[in-house]
Structure 1
Amino acid sequence: MEQQQQVKHEHGVMKFTRWNCDNILLGHSISTFTDYVDFPASSPTDVIRLHFGMKGNYSFSYRQLNRSFDLIGSHHNIMWSNGFDMVMQNKTLEIETFGIQFPKDLFIQYTQHASDQLKRFTEDIVNGRSSLFSERWAAIDPGIDQVIQQIIHCRYNGDLKKLFLLSKSIELLVLSADAYRTPVNQKDTIIKSSTDKEKIIAVRDLINERVSAPPNLSEIAKTVGLNEYKLKRGFKETFNTTVFGYLTEQRLHLAHRYLRDTQKTAAQIALELGYATPQHFNNAFKKKFGITPYSVRNNP
């Protein structure tokens, strides 16, 4: 069900983990490069691909779609062609991606009566037209990120793990499609350049790195080179939540994982994640998950 591998090549190293769940394939990879290069990628498989660019910037040309894309970290989309041939170029020295491949018949079964956009996408698949779910690549919001992290850090084994991966694959499909439900009016957006988009992604990464002792807004703004107004509005525009809301979500989901997977006490976790008191942590946790930290530890 799970395969881990490290592949060295002349321009760097790729570490990846793959899971096979009833012919649904999931994969997580971290690639590090020594320089900036073009490299081909191809596959003959006839599957629907959910692609999540978690960190790093890159471009690629996709022959079957007759399209090229230049992407900044934190993006996702759904695509289909009967096999693919691409040429990719890394724009950063580290790239992290996650993907899910659904067998065509199973994907059609799940989506042919779903949202209008999914039905149109499924129609293209049925009629053999190579297709991209959306012209706009949406940002990976906290909900999508948390499901991906749950898969990467899954602690289950055997049939329970298979059931867990199946449920999370479908959940990611739903969240990915739902991310495009509200059209974006480009005239109203404040983040218009790739430089500003990179700065907003840097804000997210800064919060993730310092979740236990986060910088304040003025420090973040100074670090990434944005004024506070543009930072706050641009972050909400990109991730569908405020900077503080994102920090709260990350803290609580990290706490949930620590309670499941480590022997740290709730008090230790509260202190490590920057809560003023264990009671404050307990209240926030219960509000988010509907149960106490004690319940997670004693009812895994």
Structure 2
Amino acid sequence: MKIRFKSIGFNNGELKKCFDKGMRTSLLLENKHSNLNVGTGELKEIHLNQAFVLHQNYNNVNLENHSLQIKQSQSVFLLQFVMEGNKTISINDIEYHLTRNTYNLFYIPSLSYTHNYFQTKKNILNIYFKESFLKDKMGKSFINNSKQYLEAKKENQFYSFFEKGLVVNKQLRNIINEFLTCSFEGVTKKSYLEAKLTELVLMALASNYSATKTYNLREADKENLIRIENYMRANLKEDLSIEKLSALAGFNTSKFKNDFKEVFKMPVFKYLTSLRIEKAIELILKHDYTISQASYEVGYKNPQHFTVAFKKKLGYLPSELLT
């Protein structure tokens, strides 16, 4: 299996990696790139048994927005943690967003795709592995219960396991920091890193295991909820109360709240807050809205309330998007 990374950030313009079947190795293979073309910092490679880790931690002083083009010879999973920066994955004219302090799990078939970055500072942990690794760590049921993934795999299509990026909480950050700052050497270091990687994968995915399960709702109810979710996206500026949304769906409030959580894996207002924050970030970064303008546009009458919700969800202030 081969993965080819192309970027002006690399001294020779690209980084090529070759892996055995299942990305297996009996050795700990590490490499660092500190002399980057686009700025200061470090690009670190770690190849462990069944997994390849690429840590991007640098500031781009020569340009703010740049891309990383990737081509791979086989399908692979990517568990990506964005601690600093904002980015998208572009595949066949479709974009998947990840903002600062979020993560997601992607299935990527054999094709070419692009990572686009929108801020100068980047601290991103990329973990590549095959399906066998995921089954070893999470069990076969994690894969088998994800009907949408199995369909995407059959059709050779890109798949995002979580519709929204999940928050990199303090516990995950601590594990990532322990993984990246390991001071052991030799076999001890290899064992420690593999143990920490397993812990990181389990903590990131096991707590969200229900997101991969199928649900037992009537098809008509499911379609109704998807219609309401689309309505929410298109009308973020409105006062979207439970009573109003329930009435639009034709459900009582109790059924609406329970069924919505079953389908979208979070309570209605938590989901609505995520939509509003995601849209506000887009308005600020791509359309030059002020924080006050963006907060009003997505339904907050008081910008301070938006700031509190933003900080609670992502762990930093919206003003830091502009630094």
Partner of 1:158: 186
For the residues of structure 1 that align with 2:149 and 2:35, how far apart are their CA atoms? 35
Instruction: Indicate how the Cα distance of structure 1 residues 231 and 19 shifts in structure 2: closer, same or farther if over 3 A, else same.
Output: same
Residues 51, 97 of structure 1: 8 Å contact kept: yes
Residues 78, 108 of structure 2: 8 Å contact kept: no
Instruction: Indicate how the Cα distance of structure 1 residues 237 and 119 shifts in structure 2: closer, same or farther if over 3 A, else same.
Output: same
Q: Number of residues paired by the alignment?
A: 211
For the residues of structure 1 that align with 2:207 and 2:142, how far apart are their CA atoms? 12
Residues 26, 98 of structure 1: 8 Å contact kept: yes
Residues 149, 159 of structure 2: 8 Å contact kept: no
What amino acid is aligned across from residue 23 of structure 1 in structure 2? Q
> Is 1:79 aligned to residue 130 of structure 2?
no
* Cα deviation 1:146-167 (Å, max 9, x = unaligned): 1100011111111121111111
Residues 40, 85 of structure 1: 8 Å contact kept: no
For the residues of structure 2 that align with 1:102 and 1:67, how far apart are their CA atoms? 23
Instruction: Indicate how the Cα distance of structure 1 residues 122 and 107 shifts in structure 2: closer, same or farther if over 3 A, else same.
Output: farther
Residues 112, 122 of structure 1: 8 Å contact kept: no
Instruction: Indicate how the Cα distance of structure 1 residues 145 and 172 shifts in structure 2: closer, same or farther if over 3 A, else same.
Output: same
Partner of 2:201: 173
Percent identity for Structure 1 against Structure 2: 13
Instruction: Indicate how the Cα distance of structure 1 residues 110 and 178 shifts in structure 2: closer, same or farther if over 3 A, else same.
Output: closer
Report 1:52-201 matches (<5 A).
Answer: 52-63=81-92, 67-115=94-142, 119-120=146-147, 123-124=150-151, 127=154, 128-180=156-208, 181=210, 183-188=265-270, 189-190=272-273, 192-194=276-278
Q: CA deviation at 1:7?
A: 4.6
SS of 1:8 mapped into structure 2:
coil
For the residues of structure 1 that align with 2:195 and 2:145, how far apart are their CA atoms? 19
> Is 1:15 aligned to residue 71 of structure 2?
no
Instruction: Indicate how the Cα distance of structure 1 residues 18 and 79 shifts in structure 2: closer, same or farther if over 3 A, else same.
Output: same
For the residues of structure 1 that align with 2:89 and 2:146, how far apart are their CA atoms? 27
Moved more, 31-40 or 108-117: 108-117
SS of 2:187 mapped into structure 1:
helix
Instruction: Indicate how the Cα distance of structure 1 residues 149 and 53 shifts in structure 2: closer, same or farther if over 3 A, else same.
Output: same
What amino acid is aligned across from residue 49 of structure 2 in structure 1? D
Residues 104, 162 of structure 2: 8 Å contact kept: yes
Instruction: Indicate how the Cα distance of structure 1 residues 8 and 176 shifts in structure 2: closer, same or farther if over 3 A, else same.
Output: same
Instruction: Indicate how the Cα distance of structure 1 residues 89 and 19 shifts in structure 2: closer, same or farther if over 3 A, else same.
Output: closer
What amino acid is aligned across from residue 147 of structure 1 in structure 2? I
SS of 1:32 mapped into structure 2:
strand
SS of 1:92 mapped into structure 2:
coil
Q: CA deviation at 1:51?
A: 0.6
For the residues of structure 1 that align with 2:280 and 2:269, how far apart are their CA atoms? 16
For the residues of structure 2 that align with 1:178 and 1:235, how far apart are their CA atoms? 25
Residues 111, 122 of structure 1: 8 Å contact kept: no
Instruction: Indicate how the Cα distance of structure 1 residues 42 and 234 shifts in structure 2: closer, same or farther if over 3 A, else same.
Output: closer
Q: CA deviation at 1:237?
A: 4.1
Q: Runs ≥4 in structure 1, deviation > 6 angstroms?
A: 195-198
Q: CA deviation at 1:170?
A: 1.6
Normalised TM-score (structure 2): 0.55
